């Protein structure tokens, strides 16, 4: 079972933080888990969830978590990783999965954190869960190579978010030229949604077909029935793209922190 280091909704006694110091607003941090989605499904992982989101999709399954936060200075967060033996786990092969919310809302501090963590942990593997609607600022473009795998998840109309807020071709192109591994994972519930992927992403040549992953929408075992998963899996095969289940839901239903 996963081990919580920073628990959602709980306040922490962090050191007095100067207004001039970069901080990260953290919603939760847990270890001894596994990646539940995408190409690294099943890989042992540590999850760092950053607070805040600028989209707030109607089917979001972590809303109550990323809405709460504690501010950590970069140094105090790295010290926490060392003290809780998370650096040792990362060196041994665990992935660090940085997720949200929208992690790129805090990209300045996030860049500094990753640089600092790599200085003490070395060649660790970092995955970034990202909604692909925010552009990385020029001063933070090092993120494109500091992150080993970009798990980009552009939102479709089913998210309930207006097109002008969720669709950013400039951000898609930027993430698609990341010097590291990158994927575009679409959460869908019906075959007709493929038309939106075709129209907005493939025809304008923003992404490549071989970079696409289809994942069924659902937050519980009751919603992610074998029939639902089979339908999306068959659609993925028919379109020549990858399929991803949601392993954490298959095993733990809607339990948080896994």
Neighbours of 161 (CB within 10 A): 19
**Residue 150: Cβ within 10 Å count:** 22
Residue 52 CB contacts under 8 Å (≥ 6 apart), including other chains: 25, 66, 69, 100, 101, 102, 105, 106
Of the candidate ranges 8-12, 73-77, 94-98, 145-149, the one whose mean pLDDT is the lowest: 8-12
pLDDT tens digits, 127-136:
999 999 999 9
> Do 14 and 29 contact (CB within 8 A), yes or no?
no
Cα distances (Å, whole numbers) of residue 212 to 99, 184, 185:
19, 5, 6
In this prediction, residue 197 has a pLDDT band, given cuts at 50, 70 and 90, of: very high
- Would you list the domain boundaries of the chain? 23-193
Q: Say whether pLDDT at 17 is over 60.
A: no
Helix crossing, 107-121 with 74-83: angle to 10°?
40
Number of Cβ atoms within 10 Å of the Cβ of 93: 10
d(CA 213, CA 149): 14
Region 66-91: what's the mean pLDDT?
A: 90
Mean pLDDT, to the nearest integer, of 110-114? 97
Eight-class DSSP state of 190: S
pLDDT attached to residue 155: 93
Contact assessment for residue 201 and residue 184, using Cβ atoms and an 8 Å cutoff: yes
Question: DSSP letter at 51?
Answer: P
Q: What confidence category does residue 85 fall into, taking pLDDT thresholds of 50, 70 and 90?
A: very high
Average pLDDT of the segment spanning 83-90 = 97
Name the residue with tokens 């650096």.
87
Distance CA 257, CA 30 (A): 7
- Report the mean per-residue pLDDT for the chain: 90
Is the model's pLDDT at 188 over the cut of 80? Answer: yes
Q: Which of the listed CATH numbers 1.10.490.10, 3.40.50.300, 3.40.50.970, 3.20.20.70 matches domain 23-193?
A: 3.20.20.70
């Amino acid at each position: 079972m996963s081990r919580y280091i920073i628990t959602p909704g709980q306040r922490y006694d962090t050191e007095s933080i100067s207004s001039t110091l970069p901080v990260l607003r953290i919603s939760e941090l847990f270890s001894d888990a596994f990646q539940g989605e995408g190409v690294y499904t099943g890989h042992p992982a540590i999850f760092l969830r950053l607070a805040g989101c600028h989209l707030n999709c109607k089917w979001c399954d972590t809303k109550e978590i990323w809405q709460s936060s504690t501010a950590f200075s970069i140094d105090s967060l790295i010290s926490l990783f060392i003290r809780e033996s998370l650096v040792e786990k990362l060196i041994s092969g665990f992935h660090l999965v940085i997720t949200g919310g929208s992690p790129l809302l805090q990209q300045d501090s996030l860049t500094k954190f990753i640089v600092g963590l790599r200085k003490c942990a070395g060649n660790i593997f970092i995955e970034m869960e990202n909604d692909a609607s925010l552009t990385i600022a020029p001063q933070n473009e090092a993120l494109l190579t500091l992150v080993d795998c970009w798990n980009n998840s552009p939102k479709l109309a089913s998210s309930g978010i207006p097109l002008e807020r969720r669709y950013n071709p400039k951000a898609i192109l930027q993430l698609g030229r990341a010097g590291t591994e990158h994927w575009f994972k679409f959460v869908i519930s019906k075959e007709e949604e493929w038309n939106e992927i075709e129209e907005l992403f493939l025809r304008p040549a923003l992404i490549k077909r071989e970079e696409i992953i289809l994942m069924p929408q659902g937050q519980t075992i009751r919603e992610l029935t074998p029939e639902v998963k089979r339908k999306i899996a068959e659609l993925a095969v028919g379109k020549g793209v990858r399929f991803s289940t949601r392993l954490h839901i298959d095993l733990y239903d809607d339990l948080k922190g896994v």
